[in-house]
């Protein structure tokens, strides 16, 4: 049984909807700007990839807006776009439609604002808990569209979106659903959350006056990631049923691998990354030699990009140099639990269009990062297989493999 | 504010908070459920009303509210005394 992608929806700092997103990505447009959602002028990190033109009132009623956190609103828009792209799911019985969403922080925007009110002895808004809980995005997608099947949330930090898509593949294979709305959403350009990542020295602090040049995966002198936000949603169905209802098919979701480092809560570990990629390839019944493209996790941290490069070289050997790699985060920043869902859409579009989007801000690569990262300019390259990597705090490594159907 | 004034303001406020609800169809004896508000909607309405009317509902007392008139009466008896400008 094959699982295929029949719809995609994305809400990102470089565009809402796949067309806008992909056009910006191929042209190397950066969505990183100075933070506008709160006053960050006294912060060490003052920049982020925000979805600046996002207005929930264009598609949600006042009641929905009141009862939902921003991450849910981003997810609802991405889901709507994906469902439209898939031509709707009327062909399916509602109990057979699952939802699988990833989010690292969940409704932290609500948590931060409600906590602030509490500390100021102001009343706490009634929807604080239902807005904050990590599964609220998945729940609201179900409520909005009447999807009554399995409804799951993966909260595995930066790999949440990949785990959610992987879990969807498992559900379809196990026969627990006929179609799954899967992806990730995050809205954590927030004072406390940014502060928390600053304290860990995870964020870049040297490019506040040059936001578009701040996120520079694999580049010499990179000093941390840029916080991002957004959502990416895929519609995943069994190939036979997708064909039966006449759906257009973008790609096959062929494999999923997940491995835990079991070493350190935040430090990356090469062995776990290798194991995740290896498992995704094995799961698809393929060999490492057949991998032609990798959408790297590549957050622009000094250690992370080097370790991922080493993992790729270890797994693919001499062939590593032939793999077209690119880092979506160079343009959109790191949207934590949404990042692998957005990265998956970039991977699928690479397969679908035969174009690899560039890794921007890569004028001079770190000597330890010596692979083909598609620096600065998109490349025409017909690839048939693409891995999307996501490595998260908790030592969580996930890798998902998309292929063309031919 | 006198009772009529509070009542008019509360009705106007509810009409702005509830979609597709015409203020002319709301009166003092309207029950929240008749206005399409479930229990969570009502809690949210009271939360927003606190800001709008500059008062704090006692949560135990507010639990018993079921009509527009309950809000009006509460505001009437708890409205902040006129402070010097």
Share of chain A above pLDDT 70, in %: 100
- Residues within 8 A of B (CB atoms), A 111-130 only: 123, 125-127
Q: Are A68 and A61 in contact (CB under 8 A)?
A: no
pLDDT at A245 over 90: yes
Tokens of B79: 């409205």
Report how far residue B16's alpha carbon sits from residue A194's, in angstroms, rounded to the nearest whole number: 35
pLDDT, position B81: 60
Compute the CA torsion angle A76, A82, A85, A88 (nearest 10 deg): -70
Residue A251 domain-assigned?
A: no
Residue numbers of the domain that contains A205: 3-244
Q: Which residues contact A397 (CB under 8 A, 6 or more apart)?
A: A159, A258, A259, A260, A261, A269, A272, A273, A275, A276, A389, A390, A391
Report the relative pairing of strands A251-260 and A396-403 from DSSP bridges: antiparallel
pLDDT at A110 over 60: yes
pLDDT, position B59: 84
| Nearest chain B CA: its distance from A122 CA (Å) | 10
Q: What is the mean pLDDT of chain B?
A: 89
Query: CB distance A63–B50 less than 8 Å?
Result: no
Nearest CA in chain A to B44: A126
Furthest C-alpha separation in chain A: 62
| A223 shares its domain with A318 | no
pLDDT at A347 over 70: yes
Nearest to A40, CA basis, from A208, A176, A271, A266:
A208
Q: What residues of chain B lie within 8 A of the CB of A67, using their CB?
A: 40, 44
Find tokens 């776009």 and name the residue: A81
Q: Which residues contact A213 (CB under 8 A, 6 or more apart)?
A: A30, A207, A361
pLDDT, position A45: 95
Share of chain A above pLDDT 90, in %: 98
Q: How would residue B83 be classed by pLDDT, with cut points 50, 70 and 90?
A: very low
| A310 shares its domain with A227 | no
- A118-156: buried (b, 16+ CB within 10 Å) or exposed (e) per residue? eeeeeeebbbbebbbbbbbbbbbbbebbebebbbbbbbb
What secondary structure letter does DSSP report for A125? Answer: P
Q: How would residue B17 be classed by pLDDT, with cut points 50, 70 and 90?
A: confident
Residue A59 domain-assigned?
A: yes
User: What is the number of structural domains in chain A?
Assistant: 2
Q: How would residue B20 be classed by pLDDT, with cut points 50, 70 and 90?
A: confident
Predicted complex: ipTM over 0.90:
no
Nearest by CB to B47, which of A61, A63, A126? A126
Please give the average per-residue pLDDT across A72-86, as a whole number: 98
Q: What residues of chain A lie within 8 A of the CB of B43, using their CB?
A: 126
Which of B36, B40, B63 would you mutate first to test chain A, the one with the most A CBs within 10 A? B40
Report how far residue A318's alpha carbon sits from residue A203's, in angstroms, rounded to the nearest whole number: 33
DSSP line for chain B: --HHHHHHHHHHHHHHHSTT--GGG--TT-BGGGGT--HHHHHHHHHHHHHHHT----HHHHHT--BHHHHHHHHHHHPPPPPP-
| A85 shares its domain with A189 | yes
| Nearest chain A CA: its distance from B5 CA (Å) | 26
| A325 shares its domain with A228 | no
Nearest CA in chain B to A121: B56
Q: How would residue B79 be classed by pLDDT, with cut points 50, 70 and 90?
A: confident
The whole-angstrom distance between residue B54's C-alpha and the CA centroid of its chain comes to 12
| A150 shares its domain with A57 | yes
| A217 shares its domain with A286 | no
Please give the average per-residue pLDDT across A315-329, as a whole number: 98
Helix locations, A128-269, DSSP H: 128-132, 136-145, 160-173, 191-199, 239-244
DSSP line for A129-142: HHHHSTTHHHHHHH
pLDDT at B85 over 70: no
| A163 shares its domain with A303 | no
C-alpha distances in Å from residue A269, one per residue of A181, A198, A276, B29? 31, 21, 11, 65
Q: Are A204 and A43 in contact (CB under 8 A)?
A: no
Residue A129 domain-assigned?
A: yes
How much is the CA Rg of chain A, to the nearest whole Å? 19
| Nearest chain B CA: its distance from A143 CA (Å) | 16
Q: What is the pLDDT of residues A163-173, one digit of tens each?
A: 999 999 999 99
Nearest by CB to A126, which of B17, B44, B56? B44
Q: What residues of chain A lie within 8 A of the CB of B47, using their CB?
A: 123, 125-126
Nearest CA in chain B to A128: B44
Nearest by CB to A127, which of B19, B44, B50? B44
Q: Which of A221, A244, A267 is the last residue of a domain?
A: A244
Report how far residue A141's alpha carbon sits from residue A151's, in angstroms, rounded to the nearest whole number: 9
Residue A107 domain-assigned?
A: yes
Helix locations, A284-381, DSSP H: 302-316, 329-332, 339-353
Report the relative pairing of strands A179-187 and A229-238 from DSSP bridges: antiparallel
Which of B20, B37, B44 would you mutate first to test chain A, the one with the most A CBs within 10 A? B44
| A279 shares its domain with A193 | no
Q: What residues of chain A lie within 8 A of the CB of B19, using their CB?
A: 61-63
Query: CB distance B41–A127 less than 8 Å?
Result: no
| A173 shares its domain with A270 | no
Domains and CATH numbers, chain B: 3-78 (1.10.1200.10)
Nearest by CB to B43, which of A61, A62, A126? A126
Q: Which of A222, A244, A266 is the last residue of a domain?
A: A244
Report how far residue A402's alpha carbon sits from residue A284's, in angstroms, rounded to the nearest whole number: 9
| A305 shares its domain with A378 | yes
Furthest C-alpha separation in chain B: 40
Q: What is the pLDDT of residues A349-394, one digit of tens each?
A: 999 999 999 999 999 999 999 999 999 999 999 999 999 999 999 9
- Residues β-bridged to residue A400: A256, A388
Residue A147 domain-assigned?
A: yes
| A109 shares its domain with A11 | yes
Q: What residues of chain A lie within 8 A of the CB of B17, using their CB?
A: 62
Find tokens 């969403």 and name the residue: A101
CATH of the domain at A340: 3.40.47.10
How buried is A91 (Cβ within 10 angstroms: 0-12 exposed, 13-18 middle, 19+ buried)?
middle
Residue A252 domain-assigned?
A: no
pLDDT, position A300: 98
Q: What residues of chain A lie within 8 A of the CB of B55, using their CB?
A: none
- A302-336: buried (b, 16+ CB within 10 Å) or exposed (e) per residue? eebbbbbbbbbbebbeeebeebbbbbbbbbbbbbb
Nearest by CB to A126, which of B19, B40, B56? B40
- Residues within 8 A of B (CB atoms), A 5-64 only: 61-63
Q: How would residue B40 be classed by pLDDT, with cut points 50, 70 and 90?
A: confident
Nearest to A296, CA basis, from A347, A245, A331:
A347
What secondary structure letter does DSSP report for A122? Answer: P
| A192 shares its domain with A282 | no
Report how far residue B9's alpha carbon sits from residue B79's, in angstroms, rounded to the nearest whole number: 13
Q: What is the pLDDT of residues A172-218, one digit of tens each?
A: 999 999 999 999 999 999 999 999 999 999 999 999 999 999 999 99
Nearest to A371, CA basis, from A328, A312, A291:
A312
pLDDT at A147 over 70: yes
Residue A249 domain-assigned?
A: no
Q: What residues of chain B lie within 8 A of the CB of A127, using their CB?
A: 40, 44
pLDDT, position B84: 46
Q: What is the mean pLDDT of chain A?
A: 97
Q: Is A158 part of the annotated catalytic residue set? A: yes
* Sign of the dihedral through C-alpha A15, A60, A100, A405: negative
């Amino acid at each position: 049984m094959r699982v295929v992608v029949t719809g995609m929806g994305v809400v990102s700092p470089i565009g809402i909807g796949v067309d806008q997103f992909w056009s910006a990505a191929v042209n190397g447009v950066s969505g990183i700007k100075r933070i506008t959602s709160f006053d960050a002028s006294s912060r060490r990190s003052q920049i982020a990839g925000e979805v600046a033109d996002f207005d929930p009132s264009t598609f949600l009623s006042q009641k929905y807006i009141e009862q939902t956190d921003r991450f849910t609103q981003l997810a609802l828009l991405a889901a709507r776009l994906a469902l439209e792209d898939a031509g709707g799911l009327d062909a399916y019985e509602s109990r057979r439609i699952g939802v699988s969403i990833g989010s690292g922080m969940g409704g932290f925007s609500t948590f931060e604002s409600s906590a602030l009110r509490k500390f100021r002895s102001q009343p706490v808004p009634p929807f604080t808990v239902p807005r904050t809980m990590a599964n609220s995005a998945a729940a609201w997608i179900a409520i909005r569209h009447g999807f009554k099947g399995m409804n799951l949330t993966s909260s595995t930090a930066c790999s949440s979106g990949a785990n959610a898509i992987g879990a969807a593949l498992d559900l379809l294979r196990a026969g627990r659903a006929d179609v799954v709305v899967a992806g990730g959403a995050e809205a954590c350009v927030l004072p406390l959350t940014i502060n928390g990542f600053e304290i860990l020295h995870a964020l870049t602090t040297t490019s506040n006056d040059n936001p578009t040049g701040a996120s520079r995966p694999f580049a010499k002198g990179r000093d941390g990631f840029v916080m991002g936000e957004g959502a990416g949603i895929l519609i995943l169905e069994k190939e036979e049923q997708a064909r039966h209802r006449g759906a257009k098919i973008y790609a096959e979701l062929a494999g999923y691998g997940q491995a835990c480092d079991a070493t350190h809560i935040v430090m990356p570990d090469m062995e776990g990354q290798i194991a995740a990629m290896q498992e995704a390839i094995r799961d698809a019944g393929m060999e490492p030699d057949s991998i032609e493209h990798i959408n790297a996790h590549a957050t622009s941290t000094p250690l992370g990009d080097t370790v991922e490069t080493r993992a790729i070289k270890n797994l693919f050997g001499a062939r590593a140099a032939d793999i077209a790699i690119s880092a979506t985060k160079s343009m959109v920043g790191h949207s934590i639990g949404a990042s692998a869902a957005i990265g998956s859409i970039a991977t699928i579009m690479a397969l679908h269009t035969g174009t690899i989007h560039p890794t921007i801000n890569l004028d001079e690569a770190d000597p330890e990062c010596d692979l083909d990262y598609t620096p600065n300019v998109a490349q025409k390259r017909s690839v048939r297989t693409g891995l999307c990597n996501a490595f998260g705090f908790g030592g969580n490594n996930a890798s998902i493999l998309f292929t063309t159907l031919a | 504010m006198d009772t009529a004034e509070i009542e008019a303001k509360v009705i106007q406020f509810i009409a702005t908070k509830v979609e597709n609800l015409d203020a002319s169809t709301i009166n003092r004896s309207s029950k929240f459920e008749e206005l399409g508000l479930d229990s969570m909607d009502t809690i949210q309405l009271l939360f927003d009303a606190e800001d709008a009317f500059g008062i704090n509902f006692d949560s135990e007392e507010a639990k018993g509210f079921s009509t527009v008139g309950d809000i009006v009466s509460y505001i009437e008896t708890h409205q902040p005394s006129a402070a010097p400008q």
